[in-house]
Amino acid sequence: MNRLTSRGLIAGLAASALALGLVGCSPAPAPAPTDSAAPTTAAPEQVTLRFWHNATAEPLKGIWDKASRDFEASHPGVTIESTGYQNEELQRTLIPQALQAGGDAAPDVFMVWPGGEVRAQAEAGYLKDLTAPAADTIAKFGGVAKPWEVDGKQYALPFTFGITGIWYNKDLFTQAGIASTPKTLTELADAVTKLKAIDVAPIAVGAKDKWPAGHWWYQFALNTCSVQTLQTAIPALNFDDPCWIEAGTKLQEWMATEPFQEGFLATSAQQGADSSAGMVANGKAAMEFMGAWNSGQIGSLTPDGKVPAFLGWFPFPSIPGTAGDPTITMGGGDGFGVYKDAPDVAVEFAQYLVSDEVQAAFAAAGSGIPANPAAASSLTDENLKAIAAGLAGSSYVQLWLDSALGPEFGNPLNDAIVNLMGGKGTPEDIVKALKDTAAKL
């Protein structure tokens, strides 16, 4: 059973099942020749590109749709089917299954996560090498494109990259008598106490979705581990350094201050008024530790669909008693990759999606931090400008650990973190989850 492809296996079994069709009464649809070259190359004037992203709500959905229409207009014969799917369904179910099926089933241009995620898809051979065709774009983007590089080859082009920080409600801070944004964890703890006194949830976290809780531990690990440890431990998947356990200990101490909303274990991150973003949007929670997209997310959850005026942003405070450097930040982003058998025009489209024009619209809409440096000036949102400045001032940006480590790590790692936050696990359990997963690869 060496190098058995699942597709071959299916074809065999399906054929034998169909062979059971004793007479002509079987529905017998002939197996499609999926291995043949994409038929689109035969007729270059009529091409349909399938474009999968995670924008289900405005304004981002409109930006991708408009970019698709504009590209169609400038490329006669090209039709683009732009579809937005729920983020986790897209990355964990739809894309892997479509890639595995291959052929026409696979999307031509689709969202690709950085780090270990893009590595897994690239190593399996599903992504087109964009190093040569998109050389100009890559050179222009510089370091921000690096997380989508695997073994020196570029496999996706980022459209957003930002650092994770704390989103907060300025009005509630004033009301609680918090004079300035917290610079240290101790000050953050003070703010939590003051916010509890005015009867709002100090910090919202969407622990039902697991990764938002995970980000808290990642941030603590960033502070307890040195850059050198991070840079060597992650590629080597070696978690022996005591700093990994210390991160959990610090998080445990932090949990003792009860900073999160009641019932945070069952709160989702983004859907509806009861989600963590929704709680910030409607003033029920004062803070949320979240990525750069949160401005747009919170905006979509307000009654008028606009980013509320009270929304502010500050970088995660430094943690006393750790080696961490405050200019070491955590972040990540999203990129667009191209399927290996997609027509060449798909590469053009992916490049268009990160072009100055589309990126400027992206920045102006306040959906996040554009990856294209030329679009940075189009940012109007004050918070996003602050994030861009924070990104620019970072001495080292660590990719979110679940992305950096790769798809197999997300579940066990984030599960162990949520367990610790829920009082059911220990700092050692988190490191054990990491080591166990690494051992299984």
Partner 1 sequence: MAHTTPAGPAVSAGPAPAGRSKRRAGTGRRWLEIAVFAGPALIVFVTFVIVPVILAAVYSFFNWNGLTPLERFIGFDNYIEAFNDPDFLQAIGNNFTIVIASILIQGPLAIAAALLLNRKLRGRAFIRAAIFVPYVLAEVIAGLSWNLLLSPNGFVNALLEMVGLEEWAQPWLANPDIALWVMFWILTWKYLGFAILIMLAGLQGVPEELHEAAAIDGAGWWKAQWYVTLPLLGPTIRIWVFLSIIGSLQLFDMVWVTTRGGPLNATNTMAVYMIVNGQTRPGYGSAIAVILFLISLTVALVYQRLAMRRDLGGAITRGVR
Partner 2 sequence: MAATTTAAPAVAKRRINWSSPLIYAVAYLVVVVSVVPVLYVWLNGFRSNADINANPAGWPNPWYFQNYLTVLGSDRFWGSLASSIIVAVGTTLGVAVLGIMAAFVIAKYDFRGRQGLYAVFAAGLMFPLTVASLPLNLLIRNLGLHGSFLGVIIPQIAFALPTTIIILVPFLRAIPDELEEAAAIDGASRIGFFWRILLPLSMPGLITVGVLAFIGSWNAYLLPLLIMAAGGMPQNLWTLPLGVTQFATQYSQDTGAVLAYTSLAMLPALLFFIAAEKRIVGGLTGAVKG
The residues that touch partner 2, with contacts defined as CB under 8 A, are 6-7, 10-11, 14, 27, 29-32, 34, 50, 56-57, 61, 81, 83, 85-86, 89, 93-94, 97-98, 100-101, 103-105, 270-273, 275, 278, 281-282, 300-303, 305
92: partner contacted, choices partner 1, partner 2, none (Cβ within 5-8 A by kind): partner 1
Q: Which is nearer to partner 1, 246 or 341 (CB)?
A: 341
Angle, nearest 10°, between helix axes 60-74 and 344-353?
130
Nearest Cα to Cα of residue 96 among 119, 64, 121, 114: 121
Cβ at position 336, least distance to partner 1 in Å: 18
Residue whose structure tokens are 């999160």: 260
Among partner 2, partner 1, none, the one that 301 touches (CB under a kind-dependent 5 to 8 A) is partner 2
Distance (Å, whole) CA 332 – CA 338: 20
Q: State the burial class of residue 159 (Cβ atoms within 10 Å of its Cβ: 0-12, 13-18, 19+).
A: buried
* Residue 392 CA, distance from chain mean position: 20
Question: Which of partner 1, partner 2, none is residue 364 near (CB under 5 to 8 Å by kind)?
Answer: none
Nearest to 164 by CA among 319, 373, 314: 314
Q: How many CA atoms lie less than 13 Å away from 382 in the CB half-sphere?
A: 9
Q: Choose from partner 1, partner 2, none: what does 303 bind? Cβ within 5-8 Å by kind.
A: partner 2
Q: Using CB distances below 5 to 8 A depending on partner kind, what does residue 76 bind out of partner 2, partner 1, none? A: none
Residue 97 or 186 having the CB closest to partner 2: 97
14 binds partner 1 (CB under 8 A): yes
Give 359-363 contacts, CB < 8 A, sequence gap 24+. Answer: 359/159, 361/63, 361/66, 361/67, 362/60, 362/63, 362/159, 362/160
Torsion of CA 360, 365, 369, 370, to 10 degrees: -20
Contact partner, 70, from partner 1, partner 2, none, Cβ < 5-8 Å per class: none
What is d(CA 210, CA 162) in angstroms, rounded to the nearest whole number?
Answer: 20
Q: Is 151 a binder of partner 1 (CB under 8 A)?
A: no
List the interface residues with partner 1, window 201-230 (CB under 8 A).
207-208
Judged by CB under 8 A, the residue of 415, 428, 432, 435 near partner 1 is 415
Among partner 2, partner 1, none, what binds residue 23 when CB lies within 5 to 8 Å by partner kind?
partner 1
Q: Which is nearer to partner 2, 23 or 139 (CB)?
A: 23
Cβ contact 154:134 at 8 Å: yes
Q: Report in angstroms how near the CB of residue 329 gets to partner 1 at its nearest.
A: 26
**By C-beta, is 17 or 37 nearer to partner 1?**
17
How far apart are alpha carbons 435 and 233 in whole angstroms? 11
Going by C-alpha positions, the residue among 273, 268, 283 that lies closest to residue 202 is 283
Separation between Cα atoms, residue 380 and residue 365, nearest integer Å = 8
Please state the closest distance from residue 157 (CB atom) to partner 1, in A: 20
3 binds, among partner 1, partner 2, none (CB under 5 to 8 A by kind): partner 1
CA distance linking residue 315 with residue 118, whole number of Å: 27
Distance in Å, CB of 13 to partner 1, minimum: 5
Binding residues (CB under 8 A) for partner 1: these are 1-6, 9-10, 13-14, 17-18, 20-23, 25-27, 92-93, 96-97, 99-100, 120-121, 123-124, 126, 207-208, 261-267, 272-274, 284, 407-408, 410-411, 415, 418-419, 422, 424, 440
